A and B are shown apart, each in its own frame.
Chain A
Amino acid sequence: MTNNNEKKEYWRWLEYKKIRPNMDPKKANIITAGVDVGSVGSKAVIMLDGKIYAWSVMRTGSNSSDSAKKALGWAMEDTGLTLDDFHYIVGTGYGRVNVPMANRAITEIACHAKGANYIWGPTVRTVLDVGGQDVKAIKVDQNGKVVSFLMNDKCAAGTGRGMEVIADLLKIPIEDVGKVSLSVTEEPKPVSSTCVVFAKTEAVGLLRKGWTKEKVIAAYVKAMAIRMSELIEKVGCEKDFVITGGQSKNIGIVDRVEKILGVKRLPVPNLEETGLDPASAGAIGAALFAKALYEKSQKQ
């Protein structure tokens, strides 16, 4: 039974963690971790000899270093690992300088490029990373190295935070936004793609005009997809194209960006089994950098 008086938080997405079975940290030579403290989500990935072993995705709190500790702590739960067992830890993301247990901080752009290369392989050339408070279009080479990138971190249009705001307004659970936005029979005219505040005002006006919330969310998601596509077109969209970050799960965004650009993204791998989670691409990249940095330090 739900209590009607309680204000539901439609933006609140589900946190998750997982350990892959049949892997034994005791037999591993190199244990590394990547901790990606984003503005909205904190992600931790633990790797055994460069293979994903355990991971967690949770909401970032008001304090970056607490969020980093919590995310890694949650990923470590039931693994028997302690912080001392790690050979190297890399912090990344918007709060990367505040990851207390990290040996080093690396920008999330480099980590997302590296992570995408690991998830989808060397054919990836363009990565759209849609984070909580920024959107990045990154061009990468066959080794997962950044060639060039463009970023919008000044404005909520297109970001996950903007999507949360509209989900809350329309009372649509954030996980369902994509699906609901695709349930319209005809694509409506998009709302303002330059400002979430103006888009929100427009959305309220459309609801008053009698539009269904499905139609309104479609108009909003369309506007945000336009915004993201413009960014990708500016760096140039070269195949293979992939989407990382929390909103890679929003099929309303993915579908529309693909249509606007005329390019299909590579499909999402089976994350339950492999841990290849596009939302954790930054943390995966960070854990890989951690392994490489550890190996380098041993050679010296």
Chain B
Amino acid sequence: MVVSAGVDMGTQRVKVAIIKDKQVVGKAQEFVGFEPTKAAEKALEEALKSANISREELEHITATGAGVDMATFADSKVSMMGADAKAGVYFFKSARTVIDVGAEDARAVKCDEYGIMQDFIVNARCAAGAGTFIEAMARALEVELEDMGPLSLKAERASPINASCVIFAESDVVSLIHREEPKSEIARAIFDAMAERVASMVKRLGVNPDIVLVGGVAKDEGFVASLKRRLGIELLIPEEPIYAGAIGAALVAAKKAKRARRRAQ
């Protein structure tokens, strides 16, 4: 029996997953805040508690994510793309492409049936292709973040808005609200623009089904609807897509623990 943990140090949240015999038995998340290492420790503690497992039982901890070096307690590291590939195939055996849309970046990873990464593409240069965009627009529209998706689904069309840039969209929204443009159509314009960016990235990599969508933004039904329209293909979404990186890292950790055992024998 192998017990392992994966720690995903995102730009906004740290996510931890505990795996025991290939089953996810515990998970927790914390905001990164000013002390990422402390936040990670705390998330790990909570995840262990939810799994009813002690720290000593953990054989291996693997960290991933943008702030991977801040998880100082980890035994090893794995790339975000590697963790995505592992998790994608773990969630859905048929997965060959994993799209991960997080707070500040978006990636698409091509993988084989074993969850080994074959190729990838990343956008971490522009906030208009990541979750930050939805947050900024929710603020500008004075709408709760969770309500952005459902609101956008009510719209039949998208507002004419400069949605190529978060900063420009912020100033555009103010004048659109003055003109009494429906908020739902503004919200849809945001999701359509974001989906367009992500879709064009995926197309450059090659649309290789089945496609799994993970990351915090995969929870947003507005974004999911727009991305499906743009790609013209069904998307598989796990129950808690935000934990994909952490689960992928925990799977890598389990493998490393097994290898260490074999070496010890």
> What residues of chain A have their CB less than 8 Å away from a CB belonging to chain B?
62, 133, 154-156, 161-162, 165, 192, 194-198, 201, 208
Contact = CB atoms under 8 A, between A and B. Distances in A.
- Main secondary structure on B side of the interface with A: helix
B208 interface: no
Nearest to A192: B125
B28 interface: no
A198 B34 contact: no
Contact of B126 (A62, A195, A201): A195
B167 A161 contact: yes
Interface in B122-177: 125-127, 132, 136, 162, 164-168, 171, 174-175
Nearest to B167: A156
Contacts, number: 40
- Chain B contact residues (Cβ within 8 angstroms of A): what range? 10 to 19
A201 B131 CA distance: 14
Nearest to A165: B167
B165 A156 contact: yes
Contacts of B162: 133
B179 interface: yes
B127 A198 contact: yes
A258 to B, nearest CB: 26
B179 A155 contact: no
Contacts of B179: 62
Contacts of B127: 195, 197-198
Interface string B176-196: 001100000000000000000
A133 B168 contact: yes
A161 B171 contact: yes
Contact of B125 (A154, A165, A195, A208): A195
Interface string B9-26: 000000000000000000
A208 B34 contact: yes
Contacts of A208: 34
B125 A194 contact: yes
A197 B164 contact: no
Given A161-B168, A198-B104, 17 more contacts: A62-B174, A154-B165, A155-B164, A155-B165, A156-B168, A161-B167, A161-B171, A162-B167, A192-B125, A195-B126, A195-B166, A196-B165, A197-B132, A197-B136, A197-B167, A201-B104, A208-B34
A161 B167 CA distance: 8
